Amino acid sequence: MSAPSPATARQRHVICMKWGTKYGPEYVNRLYAMVRRHLSGAFNFVCLTDDATGIRPEVQCLPIPPLDLPPGIPERGWTKLATFSADLHGLQGTALFLDVDVVVVGPLDDFFTQPGEFLIIHDYKRPWRITGNSSVYRFELGAHPDVLEYFRGHFDEIRRQFRNEQAYLSDVLHKQGKLRYWPSAWCPSFKYHGIPRWPTNYWKAPFVPEGARIVIFHGECNPPDALAGRRNRRFRHIEPATWVAEHWRE
């Protein structure tokens, strides 16, 4: 089979972000490997980062556009809003954003073809609200510069009204009639959907929820923590999630 043309590769982008010291380059490298195994055809994998050290050469590392946030504020994911730059390093086409700590377990092609102008995970904990979980979202590059422009000019006001970037983002795009959600089975939460109910979590291992394609890790438990298990919390005991090793690898 002939290799895809570079033009085709530029049309589909998978974007992640790594800043600070919380996540090492192995998160980016394993994320790329999982995407490569589960996304057919050509794509461009981009990491917006402040440190490209140790990241595999197949990944296009680019600087994170500056947001000029006040120093010392709590990290609430605001940096992700940089993906909505009017011109993100000249990239064009459709972008699928993935947090670096997700685990890909199923096919990804449909994430690029699912109807909708802007797609995001519906909040697991409070599904009656419009708020999305921004661990996985899709958009056209350069199509929503107003999201970032308004943020830059009204940060103090936005910070008082919204706890984090995904609440602000969901509110803006909902008011514009552009907010849509992924099918509920595609992006389950390890925390809410993959751990057996108490007290069976003491003897039953965590599992991949039926229909899952990308398992989301939020809170204090990341893929390596899930793989190791957790025994130091009375009501939050987790047996080792051995399935993580099958997928979260290079």
The reply to whether 44 falls in a domain is yes
Residue 66: which domain range?
Answer: 6-101+117-181
What average pLDDT does the chain have? Answer: 91
Is the pLDDT at 8 greater than 60? The verdict is: no
More confident residue, 159 or 215: 215
The reply to whether 233 falls in a domain is no
Residue 48 in contact with residue 17, Cβ under 8 Å?
yes
The reply to whether 151 falls in a domain is yes
Instruction: Note if the pTM is more than 0.85.
Output: yes
Q: How far, CA to CA in Å, does 93 sit from each of 192, 194, 203?
A: 33, 33, 47
% pLDDT > 90, the chain: 78
- Where would I find the H helices in 84-222? 110-113, 145-153, 155-161, 165-175, 190-193
For 55, left (φ over 0), alpha (ψ -120 to 50), or beta?
beta
Residue 59 in contact with residue 15, Cβ under 8 Å?
no
Reduced to 3 states (helix: H, G, I; strand: E, B; else coil), residue 8 is helix
The reply to whether 216 falls in a domain is no
pLDDT band with cut points at 50, 70 and 90 for residue 67: confident
Name residue 225's amino acid: D
Crossing angle of helices 145-153 and 165-175, in 10° steps, is 120
Contacts of 206 (CB under 8 A, 6+ apart): 190, 194, 195, 196, 226, 238, 239, 241, 243
Q: The domain spanning residue 61 has which CATH number?
A: 3.90.550.10
CA distance 225 to 229: 6
The reply to whether 226 falls in a domain is no
| pLDDT score, position 9 | 45
Is the pLDDT at 139 greater than 60? The verdict is: yes
Q: Which of 56-65, 123-132, 195-204 has the lowest mean pLDDT?
A: 123-132
The helix or strand, by DSSP H or E, that contains position 6, with its residue range, turns out to be helix 6-11
The reply to whether 250 falls in a domain is no
Contacts of 143 (CB under 8 A, 6+ apart): 117
pLDDT band with cut points at 50, 70 and 90 for residue 126: confident
Q: How many domains does the chain have?
A: 1
CA distance 176 to 39: 30
pLDDT band with cut points at 50, 70 and 90 for residue 233: low
More confident residue, 66 or 72: 66
The reply to whether 188 falls in a domain is no
Contacts of 84 (CB under 8 A, 6+ apart): 139, 144, 145, 147, 148
The reply to whether 34 falls in a domain is yes
